[in-house]
Structure 1
Amino acid sequence: MSRTFRQYLLFTLQSIGFWMLAFSFLIVIRYFGVFEEKGVSVLPKYRLALTDLLAFVSLVSIPFGIFYAAIEFLFDRFLSKSLSLGIVIFAKTVIYLILLVVLVSFVVDYTGYILDDSTETGNDWWYTNKTFWTIVVFFIVASLVFSFIKIANEKFGRGVFINMLLGKYRKPQEEKRIFMFLDLKSSTTIAENLGHYTYSQLIQDCFYDLNSIVQRYDAEIYQYVGDEAVLSWTYERGIKRNNAVQLYFTFQKRLNTRRNHYQEKYGLIPEFKAGIHGGTLMVAEVGSIKKELAYHGDVINTTARIQAECNTFNANVLISESLLQEMKLRKIFTTKRINDLLLKGKVQTINIYSISTEN
């Protein structure tokens, strides 16, 4: 819960900062635009200093940013799966419109900044006010920009989108990362028993539960391949707080918490197996259509091979010795060494360990 709260707090701070910049930009454009318009007569009481306006807007942006972040967070966490995208967009639009009416009414009442006709009275002033609808259009555009940045960060991982904009990955770059290959146990048998349609629903549910905890452990989804998910961390984030290990057990705990749902709908409780490994590899932009980041190197292949050994040793989680030595696992974790293995496609043997926990 504490990690979820930190995640929400960070998103709230980002929302406040974004809307401070967005509304300040609007104020600057509106301020100079109005005073530079020929034929516009501005009464002395409206001649507010730009710094005063910016300070006031900054204060207004704080509750707006908090409210905006709360709506986005609640919809993403609790309603995005059960409601269609159209209903979600419509509901958000209505809520934001109400919020804008309240916000702009506050500005009108206490600053007189709405210069089109600041003497308007009545609760329906906003319906015909051109300045208000200008603000609405600006808000829609700014909201789309904010959503685009949010989606891009979720797709590529924190900071990666900015690096792509700056062209960092136009040429292959060397990075040190941790990968986890996460695969559904007995997937072939389950698919045969459930049928392809119900099986696809099962995978949807499992990955939805996975997505609900991914950001909590600073992980990035690299790929979905059938019933397998490939997760990635920067080396520092994966080691920090045992994120690269803890995520698996939290995910399995999440599935067990919803055991009644899975048992009633699918007649089973899904279990996943995972292989974890890290090291240096190359990352680069690939493709001109559906452009994405691709990782190349032995780390990817080795992680996949480690995961494939889970069935052989009846283990839920296997991790390479080199990565385990750099992690300071909490006492709740129990590790067991597996003899040197010559993984498929490898020339040299590699030491791996199984990880388990009673919690």
Structure 2
Amino acid sequence: MRSRRFIMVNRCRKRSPGGFTLVELLVVIAIIGILIALLLPAVQAAREAARRSQCTNNMKQMGLALHNYADANKAFPNGCLMVLNNAGASYPTHIRPWSVAILPYMEQAGVANQYNLGLPADTSITFWRWPASVTAVAANAALGATVISTYICPSAPGGAGRTITASITAADMAVLGGTAGQMGQLYSGTLSFPMAPMDYSSFHGVGGPNNTGRFGDVAWPPGSPNRPSSGDQYGALPVAIYNNFPPLAGVGQMALTASLAEITDGTSNTMLLAERVGGPTLYTKGGAALDLTPVGLPPAKFAALNGGGWINPFNGIGTLYGSAWTVTIANFSANGPCAINCTNMTYKNMYSFHPGGVNMLLADASVRFISETTEPFVIGSLFTRNNGESFSLP
């Protein structure tokens, strides 16, 4: 009797559960989600800090190469060297951007030795003209597909894996204000060529005052001290145009090379290079890519005009005109007051995917991070080499 009662009591006892209840499981999942949400920004920030550090190191290497070039040649290279054909014809036939000039000074002598200064860099489309012969640019264009890791910022979308193919016809120039007649003066077909990425740019200078809407009118408003008289103001790596080839046999028509002694504003107050990443894709404020197809200029065509490859002369021919970016396609080429991270279009802006600003290489070979909130006067002063401004970077 006792044993039967004992069995019945045991059967009536509740058994303890052997695992998590659904509610407990959901609580654990929620806690894990919160921890991930808290940690993810820190992880992303750490990764971006590493990418920005690599980008800074790249610029320091280029700074050393530029100074070694200056030591050997008594001056910095031109941002873009152009030699006119037949003593002043209206199109250049020999082009060399700064990124080609410094190759021997950054352990790329093998690539540099293959570059033919007697031929255009790629399409020779500066001034919106084609070269006389498609085959004339083949060797240099093929060389431009060589990936040079120092020229690539790891923060740029795609990094070294970007595939850049430039392809443009004579009629495409009408989209950017040129004419088919200009482009087709010498060649009316289509040129297509690959380019390895380039995320750094020199600037001829800053778009001077008295040119309505350009950045110079923002940096030096009427009546302000040190306001230049007119015209574009030259930087440390200006564009140079010569009448004859080889270039040293000709007379320069535009700003010649600048020696260290000619940077009278001070090497710590004058820029050499700045980031302009992401080419050939056109990026807008906030890092969004703009689809240019509606205006008839898809990426392959835009690549020929916006740089993006280290052999493309448009990485050294631009002047800081500023941007009036309003996130509309119709406004993508307008000049304006924004100089940093509004667009990576040539002639317009410095641009990076680092939050809040861009890296800039100064003429003393140091690299500084320039904030988007930097005063226009300071930015304009950094872009000139001998305008006499007095300022200090934060």
TM-score normalised to structure 1 length: 0.27
Greater percentage in helix: 1
Structure showing greater relative contact order (alpha-carbon pairs closer than 8 Å, 6 or more residues apart): 2
Greater percentage in strand: 1
For the pair shown, the structure with the greater C-alpha radius of gyration is: 2
